Amino acid sequence: MKKPRIVAVDDEPDFVATLKEYFELRGYEINVASKAVDGIALINEKKPDIAILDLKMPGISGDEVMTLVKSKHPDTKVIFVTAFDDGGKTRKRLLDAGAHAYLDKPLPSLKDLEEIVKKACS
């Protein structure tokens, strides 16, 4: 099976660098951005199977990025990875709006994220 293509967008450069290294080492095509505008451009260009999004980013929120992804690339699955916690309200709202998953940061392990990525596209 072909490995899912990924775009990851998070305003923490270290976090996206870690994701890039982890997934590239395992044979995935992954492109990353630490600015939402760059992430949107990447998603439009790459049309990835998976978009891994932060929620809180300066300028454009992950929320808005998902709205855009869903309208232009309905097949791209959105996985949020965020430290934002308001007791599950936002989690529920985004999952209801079509997010594939909503994971809490820090992630216990990238292996868990990889499993979700794999299952999302199988």
Binding site for Mg ion (CB under 5 A): 11, 54, 56
52 or 121: CB nearest Mg ion? 52
CB of 52 to Mg ion, least distance (A): 12
CB of 75 to Mg ion, least distance (A): 26
Contact 37, 58 (CB under 8 A): no
15 or 28: CB nearest Mg ion? 15
31 or 34: CB nearest Mg ion? 34
Compute the distance between CA of residue 46 and CA of residue 55 in angstroms, rounded to an integer. Answer: 21
3 or 35: CB nearest Mg ion? 35
The secondary structure of 76-118 as a DSSP string is SEEEEEE---STTHHHHHHHHTT-SEEEESSPS-HHHHHHHHH
CB of 97 to Mg ion, least distance (A): 19
The candidate with the shortest Cα–Cα distance to 80, out of 68, 96, 70, 95, is 95
CB of 74 to Mg ion, least distance (A): 25
